[in-house]
Amino acid sequence: MGKITPSLSILAVGSGLRSEDSELALIVHRSTRAIDNARLLILWHRLFSRLASKLARSRLTDSSSFYQQPTMATEETTYDIIFAGSGAAACVTAGRLAAADPTLKILVLEAGAHTRDLDHHVRPGNYFSNLLVPRDVFSFHLGQGGKGTNGRTHIVPTGRALGGGSAVNFVMYVRPAASDYDDWENVHRNKGWGSKDLIPLLRKAETYQPDPSAPTHGFNGPLKISFAQDSHNVSDEALRVAQAYEKEYKAVDDFSNFSGDSINGWTRLPRWIDAKTGRRSDTAHYYIYNQDHNKNLEVQTRRKVARVIFEGNRAVGVEHVDDVVGRSKGVPESRISRASRLVVLSAGAFGSPAILERSGIGAASVLEKCGIKQLVDLPGVGDKYTDHNVVFVPYHASEDAETMDSLFRATPEEAKVHSKQWLEFGSGLLANNGINSGIKLRPTEEDLKSMSPEFDDRWATFFANTPDKPVMVLANLSGYFGANPAVPRGNHLTAGYYSCYPISTGHVHITSATDLYSHMDFKPGFLEHPADVAILRWTYKRSRELTRRMKYYRGEVEICHPQYPAGSLAACNRTDGPVDIDAPPLAYTKEDDDAIDEYHRQNIETTWHSIGTCAMKPREKGGVVDSRLNVYGVQNLKVADCSITPSNVSANTYSTAVAIGEKAAVIIAEDLGIKGVTAGPT
Ligand SMILES: Cc1cc2nc3c(=O)[nH]c(=O)nc-3n(C[C@H](O)[C@H](O)[C@H](O)COP(=O)(O)OP(=O)(O)OC[C@H]3O[C@@H](n4cnc5c(N)ncnc54)[C@H](O)[C@@H]3O)c2cc1C
């Protein structure tokens, strides 16, 4: 088991880990309520060290049973449709179907808890403290280190609450390239899944407050998108510097308009926030909670789905257990709920393949190890785990910089001020995410030379002929977005960047037929290809040149940058101000480049964009579902969440989850003869 570093992505412990780990986390949580977040970080650091050694001792084996065998299960009501997992996509699909036909009996089962009107879900700025404090709103997936990241262990969180990731994510609104969806249709042979089909559905889902009449955006959908009420001065400065320094790059109004023209254009970044209320635009509130009147739409939270029940090869229901009892190592009551028309797996990129495998659908080698009788041989289940690779690189900022630091590391008194402002006006740092401006980057000829030879082949075979595909997304963030307690308090700027289409992928499989809480055999597969490392090096240098020209810049946070060799001209510095806009770029030697690569191997983490583990592809190509979302080899069983993505998208993945949710509603309505689910805005 590799080293665990205190990076942002592992900043929480709880539901996905064993109960004793959660208890450990709770002790820290309880004992730190009265102190500020800086002290909290130190305690977390200690907790992680303990956890790392506990996890290192744990084995990936079937240790105990958390649910009773199917014969012991009690039977429940019969529904028309059952959703197993109710995250970002599922709430959209279930909500649309329920609204179209209120007589449909729909059961939504969710392992996490309700989110309705809870501050830590509806206030967007809480996303950071949700990761800090173990509120039980995440599942944590422990990934084996690989050679790409020096054998480091990775912990990949996913949302665990009604609304899933949409209830806890960073509210970054980014849409992919049109060609990403066109690849789904043309390369992976999924008729009806091209950009011409999905863009109208995305328009239907949203109200784009910055400009409701903008082409490709929506004007009366349930999810509100805005620039948030308050902008930070560092945001305007980042855009000013970008244009003054990188004169060949333009400014664009919107890089999420599916136009190739927005590539290499700097823009302000919109967020999944309603500017009028300052609330998060999650799918639970805007597709499910607004349908209280519909008693046929039944939501059961804290229910973990174990497996699908089949009669022959026809799915007729699911077996599920009390999630709270299960995690406390009790033996929860097992229940079977029956579905007369359809079972939909929508438990995300970890949950859906796990349910399939526990139900006997997957690779023989995986099922045999767990003693599960195979129902359908589908080697693609849990395969090709895909993510983006992100890093947040911090810089010191001057006192007049407006940043999220005073919220992220707030004392209880400071926190009260932010809460009051949000409550009274729906504004302030809690109505923001501090992720202000960004660019979708493609390299120039000159840039390509700097990445040669590692990136040559990838460029030629994947990017060169698809001009709307960016290589990286780079964003300017206000504040320190990390968890290293050694980083001093004060204001910070951060350059955050992720690679849009990393070549290396991983896998995720169950390790037990009966223990729903055993760690999965999960390999994220980060940075195993040299091309994936070369593009990070290029982006690091570029973002550093921009940041050190911003008037708020006060030097690099040295401990969070590459450790350059002694005497390096690229060494990090604390300074009193920026360099001149026309200052020459820093010169990097081969040794400096090696230090940057090592830095990325040590620091790259999940972008929380887990996708691809039940791919919608032809069966012979490793597919798990067809283009009607039907699981191959069985009947009445579909998958509808980000696990079905057949190839990566050049964007944060909530948009794609919404597109999949809307498309699934259209498909299910067509299949079941339900009227009133439209394929675009009305
Ligand atoms: C910390 C974080 C930050 C992110 N930031 C952004 C961002 O800023 N912008 C963006 O666009 N995207 C972001 N994302 C990604 C985005 O939220 C996800 O891509 C999206 O939520 C995936 O949707 P989904 O429906 O596939 O799965 P999820 O939303 O993960 O939903 C799956 C649901 O199924 C439940 N479940 C799992 N197993 C079971 C089971 N056995 N039984 C019952 N229920 C089960 C889970 O609890 C969960 O609620 C972020 C994600 C995270 C975790």
Domain ranges for the chain: 1-204+284-386+510-525+610-682, 228-268+389-499+528-603
The pLDDT score that the predictor gives to residue 411 is 87
From 357, 372, 308, select the one nearest 521 (Cα to Cα): 357
Residue 165 CA: nearest ligand 1 atom is 21
- H/E element, 595: helix 590-603
Distance of CA 165 from the midpoint of ligand 1 (Å): 3
The pLDDT score that the predictor gives to residue 231 is 84
Q: How far is CA 671 from the centre of its chain?
A: 30
Residue keyed to tokens 């257990």 = 321
- Whether the pLDDT of residue 339 is over 90: the answer is yes
- Whether the pLDDT of residue 460 is over 80: the answer is yes
The reply to whether ligand 1 has any atom less than 6 angstroms from the CB of 158 is yes
- Whether the pLDDT of residue 56 is over 50: the answer is no
- ipTM score of the complex? 0.99
Residue 655: C-alpha distances to residues 92, 93, 348, 649, 662 (Å): 12, 14, 14, 10, 11
Residue 651 CA: nearest ligand 1 atom is 11
The pLDDT score that the predictor gives to residue 47 is 53
The pLDDT score that the predictor gives to residue 61 is 26
Using CA positions, which residue lies closest to atom 9 of ligand 1? Answer: 172
- H/E element, 79: strand 74-84
Look up residue 561 and give its two tokens: 């940058």
Distance of CA 168 from the midpoint of ligand 1 (Å): 8
| 452: CB partners within 8 A, 6+ apart | none
Q: Mapping DSSP to helix (H, G, I), strand (E, B) and coil, where does residue 317 land? A: strand
The pLDDT score that the predictor gives to residue 638 is 99
Distance of CA 607 from the midpoint of ligand 1 (Å): 12
Backbone angles phi, psi at 494, to 5 degrees: -140, 140
The pLDDT score that the predictor gives to residue 33 is 36
Q: Is 600 a catalytic residue?
A: no
**Half-sphere exposure for 26 (CA within 13 Å, toward CB):** 10
From 301, 336, 243, select the one nearest 85 (Cα to Cα): 301
Sign of the dihedral defined by the CA atoms of residues 648, 653, 657, 660, in that order? negative
Look at 164-178, 327-341, 550-564, 651-665 and tell me which has the smallest mean pLDDT. Answer: 327-341
29 is in an annotated binding site: no
Task: Name the superfamily (CATH) of residues 228-268+389-499+528-603.
Answer: Glucose Oxidase, domain 3 (3.30.560.10)
Q: Return d(Cα 624, Cα 611) in angstroms, integer.
A: 13
Distance of CA 550 from the midpoint of ligand 1 (Å): 35
Using CA positions, which residue lies closest to atom 46 of ligand 1? Answer: 160
The reply to whether ligand 1 has any atom less than 6 angstroms from the CB of 141 is no
The reply to whether ligand 1 has any atom less than 6 angstroms from the CB of 653 is yes
Q: Considering only the top CATH level, what class is 1-204+284-386+510-525+610-682?
A: alpha beta
The mean pLDDT value of the chain amounts to 90
Q: Return d(Cα 13, Cα 641) in angstroms, integer.
A: 24
Residue 160 CA: nearest ligand 1 atom is 47
156-209 pLDDT tens trace: 999 999 999 999 999 999 999 999 999 999 999 999 999 999 999 999 999 999
507 is in an annotated binding site: no
- Mean predicted confidence (pLDDT) in 634-639: 98
Pocket test for ligand 1, best of 9, 137, 139, 166 (most atoms within 8 A of CB): 166
- Whether the pLDDT of residue 114 is over 60: the answer is yes
Distance of CA 139 from the midpoint of ligand 1 (Å): 9
The pLDDT score that the predictor gives to residue 326 is 77
Catalytic residue among 29, 188, 561, 609: 609
422 is in an annotated binding site: no
- Mean predicted confidence (pLDDT) in 5-17: 37
From 495, 538, 489, select the one nearest 395 (Cα to Cα): 495
- Look at 581 and 10; give whichever has higher pLDDT: 581
Of all residues in the chain, the percent with pLDDT exceeding 90 is 82
Residue 112 CA: nearest ligand 1 atom is 47
From 257, 606, 196, select the one nearest 440 (Cα to Cα): 257
Distance of CA 362 from the midpoint of ligand 1 (Å): 22
The reply to whether ligand 1 has any atom less than 6 angstroms from the CB of 348 is yes
Using CA positions, which residue lies closest to atom 19 of ligand 1? Answer: 653
| Calculated CA dihedral for residues 278, 228, 283, 679, nearest 10 degrees | 130
- Whether the pLDDT of residue 217 is over 90: the answer is yes
The pLDDT score that the predictor gives to residue 315 is 98
Of all residues in the chain, the percent with pLDDT exceeding 70 is 89
Distance of CA 497 from the midpoint of ligand 1 (Å): 20
The pLDDT score that the predictor gives to residue 68 is 38
The pLDDT score that the predictor gives to residue 134 is 65
Using CA positions, which residue lies closest to atom 44 of ligand 1? Answer: 85
The reply to whether ligand 1 has any atom less than 6 angstroms from the CB of 641 is yes
Using CA positions, which residue lies closest to atom 2 of ligand 1? Answer: 169
The pLDDT score that the predictor gives to residue 67 is 43
514-537 pLDDT tens trace: 999 888 999 999 999 999 999 999
The reply to whether ligand 1 has any atom less than 6 angstroms from the CB of 476 is no
The reply to whether ligand 1 has any atom less than 6 angstroms from the CB of 89 is yes
